Amino acid sequence: VLNLKKLPYQTVYVEFPDIARVSKQAGIPPLLVKPDGTPHYTCPAIVDDATGAAISDSYKIAEYLDSQYPETPRAFPEGTEALQAAFYRYANDNFSCLVPIMVSSIPGLLSHSSSEYYHRTLAVMFGKPFDQIGPVGEELEKTWEKIRTLFDLLASWYGKSSGVFMVGDKPSFTDFTVAGVIQSVKVIWGEGSQEWGTFKSINDGRWVMLLSDLEGYANVDA
Ligand SMILES: N[C@@H](CCC(=O)N[C@@H](CS)C(=O)NCC(=O)O)C(=O)O
């Protein structure tokens, strides 16, 4: 969204165990409360030096940037706000089916401290040992069936658009959220993986095309 708006920024990378401390220091509020009652701080988050605003949650960040910088291209083009809220809710709720099958491939991409944190917190979240989170056998097949059905539905919605993006030819928040998931699949499983191969081929290659159509906005070190 920052790239869409061509706003200057600096990216600060934070290890998982440091997110709470760094957020507190920067005045960024927690997004949620954990089941044990402690605050749950998350990335991404922004601090806007121009206004002092400190915000977490990608949706709220995009809303803030639209209202604070109204002269820049909108993450939520006028008239699409309600539609995008509905899409985001649906997509977010359903993309969660990808999590259990991806978790085992994630620690290998993390630093030692983040990997340890990830193993520990995911085991708590799923209520089972980390190496038992990923589905196997019939359960794994069912998960893939669910993923295909989900992406078929998203593709049918995209198919109704007059352009390559959800709102015609203008990229908006919805496209960035879908592309973010596709990019995660590519990075987490790797370009040579069978899983990435599946995503490349489903829905006539629509998702790889979406990534390539949004490549100009994908840089995170502007
Ligand atoms: N709905 C939030 C989700 C943010 C979120 O859950 N971020 C994860 C990383 S993908 C996080 O920061 N987790 C911190 C933790 O697990 O302690 C958003 O869109 O910003």
Atom 11 in ligand 1: which residue has the minimum CA distance?
Answer: 42
Distance 42 CA to ligand 1 centre (A): 4
pLDDT tens per residue, the chain (222 residues)? Answer: 999 999 999 999 999 999 999 999 999 999 989 888 899 999 999 999 999 999 999 999 999 999 999 999 999 999 999 999 999 999 989 999 999 999 999 999 999 999 999 999 999 999 999 999 999 999 999 999 999 999 999 999 999 999 999 999 999 999 999 999 999 999 999 999 999 999 999 999 999 999 999 999 998 886
Kindly report the protein residue whose alpha carbon is nearest to atom 10 of ligand 1: 43
Question: What Cα–Cα distance (Å) separates residue 138 from each residue in 31, 123, 155?
Answer: 35, 22, 26
Listed in order, strand segments (DSSP E) in the chain are 32-33, 39-40, 45-47, 54-56
pLDDT of 34: 84
pLDDT of 36 reads 83
Query: What digits encode the pLDDT tens for the residues 48-80?
Result: 999 999 999 999 999 999 999 999 999 999 999
Tell me, in angstroms, the distance from the centre of ligand 1 to residue 40's CA: 9
Q: Kindly give the distance from the C-alpha atom of residue 181 to the centroid of ligand 1, in angstroms, as a whole number.
A: 13
> 146: which 2 tokens?
């669910």
With both helix axes pointing from N to C terminus, report the angle between 137-159 and 81-95 in degrees, rounded to the nearest 10. Answer: 170
* Ligand 1 centroid – CA 162 distance (Å): 32
Q: What does the block give as tokens for 174?
A: 């919805």
The per-residue pLDDT for 222 is 65
Nearest to 203 by CA among 167, 168, 222, 178: 178
Tell me which of 43, 84, 98 to substitute to probe ligand 1's pocket, judged by most ligand atoms within 8 Å of the beta carbon: 43
Residue 31 contacts residue 42 (beta carbons within 8 Å): yes
Q: Under a CB-based contact definition with an 8 Å cutoff, are residues 211 and 179 in contact?
A: yes
- Cβ atoms of 207 and 199 within 8 Å: the answer is yes
* Dist CA 71 CA 68 (whole Å): 9
Nearest CA, atom 14, ligand 1: 42
Predicted TM-score of the model (pTM): 0.95
Check pocket membership of 44 for ligand 1, CB cut-off 6 A: yes
Q: Is the CB of 23 under 6 A from ligand 1?
A: no
> Which 3 state secondary structure label does DSSP give 80?
coil
CA distances from 102 to 35, 98, 167 (A): 23, 6, 29
First-to-last alpha carbon distance for the chain, in angstroms, is 12
Q: Is the CB of 121 under 6 A from ligand 1?
A: yes
